[in-house]
Amino acid sequence: MILQPDDFWSFYEWLMRPEAFLQSAFLQGVVLILLAIVIGLLVGYVYSANRYGPSEGFYAVARAIRDLVRFDLPGTSTRRVIALARLAFKEAIRRRVLFIVGLFMAVLLLAGWYLNPESDDPARLYISFVLTATNYLILALALFISAFSLPADIKSRTIYTIVTKPVRATEIVLGRMVGFVAVGTLMLVPMGFFSYLFVTRGLRHTHQEVVELEELSDGTLRGETDAIRNHSHSFEIAADDQGVGLTDKVRGHRHLVTRDGEDFKIGPPIGALQARVPSYGEIQFYNRSGEEKQAGVDIGAERIATGGYGASGIARVIGLARGSRKIEHGYVEGGTLGAAEFTFSDVTPDRYSDGIVVNLSLRAYRSYKGDIESKIRGSVTMKHPSEEVESNPITFFIEEYEIDELALPLTIEGTDNNVTRQLDVFEDLVDEEGRLNLVIRCLDRSQYLGVTKSGVFLQPDSNSFEWNLMKAYASIWLQMTMVIAFGVMFSTFLSGPVAMISTAACVLLGFSAEQIYDTRHYIDEGIERGGGPIESVIRLLKQDAMTTQLDVDTLAASVIKTVDAGIIYSLDAVATALPNLPKMVATAEYAASGFDVFGALLARHAVATFGYCFLAFIISYFFLKSREIAA
């Protein structure tokens, strides 16, 4: 999992951005709400002017604003909202939406046949599956119940039994939203419970016996377990370990091995389901001569350019936050002075009382053909941030696409101003401010080691997997709430099918936002990547490669690119004004990869959800008032 720079921000940094307030989420949200209100008032005036005339249309819009501010918002009753929410809840239940839970359980039963527990990372496979299945089913449910409810009531005229009572439009909108959210919550809870049971039971296995056992001269027992699900573990039990040892890590888990006389008891998997709390550092690259560089070696295969990534909201539409960023691994050349140096803060004995464990998620790039089965070697060196004190290198083999844990010794031999001696990590290598440098190098000449800022981290603590899974489901709940708010909004002025399609289009545009940003960036930079929609169709028909010049005359190419640019910039404006759903869905990647879902990230999603729900509520109110007048 590659984190982006904005993923490291605290909630305050994301909200206010002290160093770049024009790109802050607060300002972008305010601009989005104000712009939406202005556009909404203009659309409302055009509709009212067409219906009642220019002057009367103006007064109709003014009266609606007055009613909202003076009467409806202050007079909204919590008791009436709850009563209307109860009606919406019962209505959704009568539509037999609870069958979604049964469908989800059937999917889990079938998935047990097809998901492969013998994969390299079965925990990631199982967790990704349950979270993805839950996400799609819940969003589909939210889309259906929110888009069809109000249009069906208006068509059957049952809505008039409500509006003729002393009920305000604000209460009708809030009642619908709250009722449908309650339905979704009722279904999300058992789905989360069954998901937990499915994951834990699917990963449960036990090795029965020790098939190979050897006693070394110092009394250490070295053995290997039997093979279960096409894997086995090796272990060592030292003479002074009281007959208890841990196996090596295979497929993301270990087992506790306990000796009982001549017998050995092998416990259940350990570490397969976890929620690492990472501590990230600042990265500095060095080239093959040992000189500082802003980035690592570019091998020409990892660079993915994205425009305006992380500058979400309407700010990008009006030019408040433009620019581009790159998601890439920086590569270190092997057998040279090239290195990637990480500076970690707050490295104290209190935080790392059980020892310092560095987690490595690295890439390897081979620059020549040869023995592809041999792993590329790397090394980690602990270094004082400001003094000439460093440990001897600790070698390891690069485990690609896995998170390799490397326990750093607290006492290690090293050099202190070219004098070799025994070093204590906290006393000799950590400075007074609690900083420690780790230097990552590639040892094999002409090979390359790829790192990112999020690819090397310390692990001072871990949270419970159960709590982390709940946070992942909380993110799904926020997505469901947002879809319900949009569905209710569109249902106030569109028919059921059209409202559902409109809401689905908003969701799809939100999921496609990153691709739209990429295409806009390519247009800005003049990079050939297939062009916009018209150019892409032409290339498909002519079977042209996406990186070649468009095979048409100059005038036609200019017209096509101009029209495509207009389409892409229009889509970019729409997509950036919509919720960035890929960022919210990414919380499932945290849980599946065994990382704790950041509290700041969940708070950001909650604030963004509240903002879009508030905007949908205001729009829904005005459209519902206009439909009541028309009725």
Residue 487 has pLDDT above 90, yes or no: yes
Question: What's the half-sphere exposure (Cβ side, CA atoms, 13 Å) at 390?
Answer: 16
- % pLDDT > 70, the chain: 92
For all residues of the chain together, what is the average pLDDT?
Answer: 84
Q: Which residue has the higher pLDDT, 392 or 547?
A: 392
Look at the block and give the residue holding tokens 């809030």.
Answer: 174
Q: Which residue has the higher pLDDT, 252 or 527?
A: 252
Q: 298-301 long-range CB contacts below 8 Å, 24 or more apart?
A: 298/328, 298/331, 299/331, 299/365, 299/448, 299/450, 301/365
Alpha-carbon distance of 589 to 135, in angstroms, equals: 13
Q: Which residue has the higher pLDDT, 141 or 631?
A: 141
Residue 309 has pLDDT above 90, yes or no: no
Predicted pLDDT at 300: 67
225-239, 251-265, 345-359, 431-445: which is most confident = 431-445
Distance of CA 178 to the CA centre of its chain: 26
Residue 41 has pLDDT above 70, yes or no: yes
Q: How confident is the model at residue 554 (pLDDT cuts 50, 70, 90)?
A: confident
Residue 571 has pLDDT above 50, yes or no: yes
* Average pLDDT of the segment spanning 386-397: 94
Residue 209 has pLDDT above 60, yes or no: yes
Q: 61-65 long-range CB contacts below 8 Å, 24 or more apart?
A: 64/622, 64/625, 64/626, 65/41
* Average pLDDT of the segment spanning 344-350: 93
* Average pLDDT of the segment spanning 355-380: 84
Structure tokens at 568: 């892409």
Predicted pLDDT at 372: 65
Residue 318 has pLDDT above 50, yes or no: no
- % pLDDT > 90, the chain: 36
Predicted pLDDT at 358: 93
* Average pLDDT of the segment spanning 590-619: 90
Residue 629 has pLDDT above 60, yes or no: no
* Average pLDDT of the segment spanning 106-132: 86
* Average pLDDT of the segment spanning 20-28: 83
Burial of 167 (0-12, 13-18, 19+ CB in 10 A): middle
Residues with Cβ within 8 Å of 41's Cβ and at least 6 positions away in sequence, in order, are: 61, 65
* Average pLDDT of the segment spanning 325-348: 86
Predicted pLDDT at 534: 85
Q: Which residue has the higher pLDDT, 439 or 542?
A: 439
Q: How confident is the model at residue 420 (pLDDT cuts 50, 70, 90)?
A: very high
Q: How confident is the model at residue 1 (pLDDT cuts 50, 70, 90)?
A: low
Predicted pLDDT at 319: 34
Residue 475 has pLDDT above 90, yes or no: yes
Residue 17 has pLDDT above 80, yes or no: yes
List the single range of 50-59, 337-346, 581-590 with lowest mean pLDDT: 581-590
Predicted pLDDT at 434: 93
Q: What is the CA radius of gyration of the chain?
A: 29
* Average pLDDT of the segment spanning 216-233: 87
Residue 198 has pLDDT above 70, yes or no: yes
Is residue 190 within 8 A of residue 130, CB to CB? The reply is: no
* Average pLDDT of the segment spanning 132-151: 90
